[in-house]
Amino acid sequence: MKIKNIALLMAGLSFNALAIENGTSVNWNNYDDMVKLYSTDNAQTCSGTLIAGKYLLTAAHCLVQDNPTTKVKSAWGQQHTIITDNTHPDYDIPNRNWHDVAVSELNQSIDAKTVHFFADLTKDTIKENDALRVFGFGETGEQLNYANLTMIDLGRNPQDRLDGKVITNGAGDITGGNTIGGDSGGAWLNKIIRL
């Protein structure tokens, strides 16, 4: 099992970032703990991150929308079904931006060589202006991309959302990719703290 030096893994946190556009393409096989979620009719997609064999972390709204995601595809082409969706108990009360996170159980395990570890969530491991990479599939088919963002708002209350901004040059042109509608639940990775 290959272990990455990654400090922060967050998925499904409400973020204006829903999919990666003009980001950097990566070889999905090198990030094989990241999965793509599909609705039954393949019209809706989201991203997720395997956190233990047959469990994945994603956005709660991916599982409770009008056309929820029910299927998962891995980097190796394996297709699985979501059998249990455990959304945060306070999701959707009273604002869908709060607690937008879920842990889903798959019908069987997915073997992954890559593991992205959670940061020590008892400490402030990320600060405003920290650099982040936000991963997602979005409207890219099955091409995993990431965008480089800067954390701008950590929230002041437990129900606040985290927020990031795109990186631009002096002329306002996007240089690190940005996010668009069509995908949620992707991993936010921060390489500053090494495990």
**Interval 92-125: pLDDT, tens:** 756 666 778 899 999 999 999 988 877 776 776 7
Say how far apart CA 126 and CA 177 lie, in whole Å: 21
Compute the C-alpha angle 138/97/19, nearest 5°.
10
DSSP-assigned letter for residue 118: P
Question: What is 2-190's CATH number?
Answer: 2.40.10.10
Tell me, what's the pLDDT at 116? 82
Band (64; pLDDT cuts 50, 70, 90): confident
Tell me, what's the pLDDT at 1? 40
Contact indicator for 97, 69 with CB cutoff of 8 Å: no
pLDDT tens digits along 7-34: 334 433 434 334 466 678 899 999 999 9
To the nearest whole number, what is the mean pLDDT of the chain? 75
Of how many residues is the chain composed? 195
Which has the higher per-residue pLDDT, 147 or 127?
147
Provide the CB-side half-sphere exposure for 157 (13 A, CA).
5
